[in-house]
Each structure stands twice: as C-alpha cells, then as structure tokens.
Structure 1
Amino acid sequence: MSNATTTLQAIIFDVDGTLADTEEFHRQAFNEAFAEHGINWHWSPEEYTELLTTSGGRERIRAYAEAHLLPRPDNVTLRELALKLHTHKSAIYRDKLVNGHIGLRPGVLRLLQEARQAGLHIALATSSSTFNVETLLLHALDRPLRDYFETVVTSDTVVDKKPSPAVYQFTLAELGLAPDECIVIEDTASGNRAARAAGLKTVITTHRFTRHHDFSGASLVLDQLGAPDDAFEVQAGNSHGASYVDLRLLDALLTGTMDPLADSWPDEPIVMAK
C-alpha cells in the first residue's frame, strides 16, 4: 500500500479472543488442570470474565489465589504452584486446539488477506506463549496461518504482560515503524490500555468475556470485524457508515477522520443484540 494514498503500514493483532474465540477453551483447560491436581477451584464464566482483566495465565492463578486466600499444598510456594498448574493447563489447552479445530473470528481471514494483498505488514502481539500461538496458527483453519505474520511477539519474547506497553513497543521496533503508521486489533481492556500506552490506535472486537470492559481511548468498539454480508454491531465509537472493517476504515481511523472515544466510558453497560 503506497504512502501516497494512506499512512497505514501495518495491522497488529492480539491473539486470544481476537484472532479466534479461544477464551472458553482456556477457561475449561484451567478448570481441568485444577481438578487433575486435586485443587477445588472452578472458574465460572462470570469469574473468568473478571479474571481476564489480569493478563497471563500464571499471573491469573496467583491473583486468584491471593484474592481468595485459598489453601495450597504444603511446602509449595504460590509461584511454584502457579507455574505447575499453568504448564499443565497449557498442555490441556493445546490438546483442545488440536482436537477442536477452532476457527477464526468473523472477518479475520478476510482482513488478513486484504492486508497481505495490499502489501501491509501484519504482526501478532500477545501475552500468550509462543507454543500456544503456534499451535493455534497451525490448527485454526485447514491450512497454517503462520505465513501471514511477519512479526510474532509473545510472552517468551517480552516478559512484561499487558497492560504494560512493552509487547507493543517491541513489536513496533521489530517492524521498524512508528505508532502513527500502525493500528491494533484487540479484545480486552488490558490489551487496549497496553496498545494505547504505546501510542497506538485500537479497534476492539468484544466477546462474551469482554463486552463490558472499559475501552476508553479506543477508536472503535465492535462485536466483530464483520463482512460485506455480515455487518458488525457498533458498541461504541463512530464507524461513519461502514458495516465491516476493511483497510479503508482502518486508514480513516488511523488518520483521524473518525473521532476516538471519549476518555470516559458510558455509565450503562453495553448489551449486544441477540
């Protein structure tokens, strides 16, 4: 895509909940790992919605244990327990990806294809592990998706988890681009805050676990990326008549022809149409 017609040079995607609706697989894997280790923890969908405000599986386990003062096996530190549980949980999650053959969220493949055809850079920036990401990219469709992404930055590359901007700052450095040349697709409040702290504009695609998050500062909040025959639902922001996310809309958001959300979020929760 030529600089003569647009400033958009790259799209940076989050992974879990953004590329694919993986969060329910993660929730189930956590609960199975707890049960197999004889720990009487069970994260309901409602609890997991709150837990997703903490990025990183090990961090989520530690935060939950600390908040609830839950017992743990003797002579095992909380850090050791979290690592052990998360390692087992990740193996269960990857098995679910392989056996469940999860698909991409609506509009993702279309946008990837449009971006690659236009010559844009495409990157992933996630708090997930490289192994989990590679497994998802291998099994999300009938053919591997890895070749779409020029840059993949994971928790194995950048230790600080979202909402730290580190993963996005590192991704920008890898791409050799400035924040005003890129736009981010995210799904959580922590991801939105991380990207915004790195100076990046964001488009949010929510799901059952994040639709009530605070997305202050995002340029647009939607239920999905949409398609020509499957319009997105605008939850906040102004799509200026667009019904699906394409490169023209992303460039318009990036160049400021569409107003970003105000710094305050609506008092009433956003309810998606059924």
Structure 2
Amino acid sequence: MTAILFGSISTLADTSEIQRDAFNQAFAEHGLDWTWDRETYAGLLDSNGGRDRVASYAAERGEDVDADAVHATKSRIYQETLRSTDVSPREGVAETMRAAKDEGHQLGLVTTTSADNLAALRDALSGKVDFDDFGVVVDQSQVSERKPDPEAYTVALRTLGVPADDAVAIEDNLGGVESARAAGVEVVAFPNGNTVDHDFGPTRRVESVSLEDLRA
C-alpha cells in the first residue's frame, strides 16, 4: 500500500447531520414544505450529488423546483455552519494521517463535492487535520462526472503516480464504494451516522480507521 485515499468529507469529519439540517433550512428559505428526517435522508444517500437528490425528490412529488437554486442555498448554509461549529475529526483519522505520513505513504482526498465545501471543512478542521498533508485533493471542478463514476479516483491516482492496486480508499457511502471499485482501488467502508445501516455487501467495514486496519 502506497497511498491512502479518503473518499468524502464525512470520512474526515462526520458532517452528515449538518448536511441534512442545511437541506431542511434551504427548503424553508425556498418556501418548500419539505422536511428530510434521518430515515428519509439516509434513504437518499444511496446516490451521490445533493442537487440531483433535490431534483429527484421534486420529480417524485410532481413539483417544479429550481434544484440548482435550492442546492446553492443549502451549500451556503452548510459552509456557514461548518465554520461556526466545533467539528472534530472522526475516530482514528488524525492519528492515521500522521502515521501514514511518518511511514512515507501518500495521502489523498478524493471527492466530487465543491471546492467551497472543502474550503469550509479545511477551516473547520484547522489545527486538527492538516490539509497540506494531502498530496492530491480532487473536487467537483476537476472532473466531468460525479461518483459513482471512477473519474475522481483515476485523476487522483494519476496525480500521485500510484497504480490502483497499490492504493486503498476509505468511503462512507455506496456511490463512493462503487467509484473506488470501478477504478480498481481496494476500498474500506467507514459509514457515517446516516449511512451506518446501508448494506455495503462484501466491502470490509470499520468503525474507526487505523493504518494497521488499512494494511489488512
């Protein structure tokens, strides 16, 4: 194993509930009588892309909704909340990153979220996780297809100069797992609070991350 690739914001810090709350606030701002409770939101997380979730949900209800505008409002609220909330890294993340760096492993953050969301997370985790340790950070602006397409991983591997079979990915959702696998990368599922009940099939699951577990 040469490279460890964190696959989403919530593999570093579990912000899934902040995301859900931001959606609900955005719905209210746009005059929508929608509320995504945890069960509803968990069911929507089997696909990637918040804008597409909004559009699909509107279509199912037969409502004409500007999904781009709603998602933009959600993103603003999410970023503002992140920067004003005491956010901690998930269990084992900071220690694993330090140990990996000490042993000469490369680190990457491979998402298809926006650069603005990543900047907010970087601010929120300042002093706890050093984003400068990532040899590559992939975001939505660098790919033409979102996960579960493998493009984000192929970009990361190419940038790091690492073959797919010499990397391991950490993912918290089904689309991310599919993306890593499609790129030929071994993947470990590290579910967040809203994907903990998802069926990751044969993918190995962990409750915390450690360098030793990632080598297994």
Does TM-score exceed 0.5, indicating one fold? yes
Separation in structure 2 between the aligned mates of residue 25 and residue 249 of structure 1, nearest angstrom: 28
* Equivalent residue letter for 1:131: D
For residue 145 of structure 1, the aligned residue among 126, 130, 137 is 130
Residue by residue, what CA displacement relative to the aligned partner does 1:45-71 show, whole Å, maximum 9, x if unpaired? 111101111211111111111222224
Contact 2:171 2:188 in 1 (8 A): yes
For residue 200 of structure 2, the aligned residue among 206, 215, 218 is 215
Residue by residue, what CA displacement relative to the aligned partner does 1:145-183 show, whole Å, maximum 9, x if unpaired? 221111000111113111111111111111111111100
Q: Which residue of 2 aligns with 1:26?
A: 19
* Equivalent residue letter for 2:172: D
Q: What is the alpha-carbon root mean square deviation over aligned residues? A: 1.5
Shift of residue 105, structure 1, vs aligned partner: 0.5
Corresponding position: 1:65 with 2:58: yes
Corresponding position: 1:249 with 2:213: yes
Normalised to the residue count of structure 2, the TM-score between the two structures is: 0.94
Separation in structure 1 between the aligned mates of residue 132 and residue 193 of structure 2, nearest angstrom: 29
* Equivalent residue letter for 1:33: A
* Equivalent residue letter for 1:165: P
Q: Which residue of 2 aligns with 1:224?
A: 208
Contact 2:172 2:191 in 1 (8 A): yes
Contact 2:169 2:186 in 1 (8 A): yes
Higher relative contact order, chain-length normalized (CA < 8 Å, sep 6+): 2
| Alignment: residue pair count | 216
Specify the structure having the higher radius of gyration (Cα). 1
For residue 94 of structure 1, the aligned residue among 65, 79, 88 is 79
Shift of residue 224, structure 1, vs aligned partner: 2.2
Residue by residue, what CA displacement relative to the aligned partner does 1:64-92 show, whole Å, maximum 9, x if unpaired? 112222244xxxxxxxx111111111110
Spell out structure 1 runs of 4+ moving beyond 6 A: none
- Structure 2's unaligned 5+ residue stretches are none
Separation in structure 2 between the aligned mates of residue 142 and residue 114 of structure 1, nearest angstrom: 17
Normalised to the residue count of structure 1, the TM-score between the two structures is: 0.75
Q: Structure 1's 143 and 224: CA in aligned 2 closer, same or farther, altered over 3 A?
A: closer
Instruction: Indicate the percent of aligned positions where both proteins have the same amino acid.
Output: 35
Corresponding position: 1:36 with 2:20: no
- Structure 1's unaligned 5+ residue stretches are 1-7, 73-80, 226-244, 254-274
Separation in structure 2 between the aligned mates of residue 224 and residue 66 of structure 1, nearest angstrom: 37
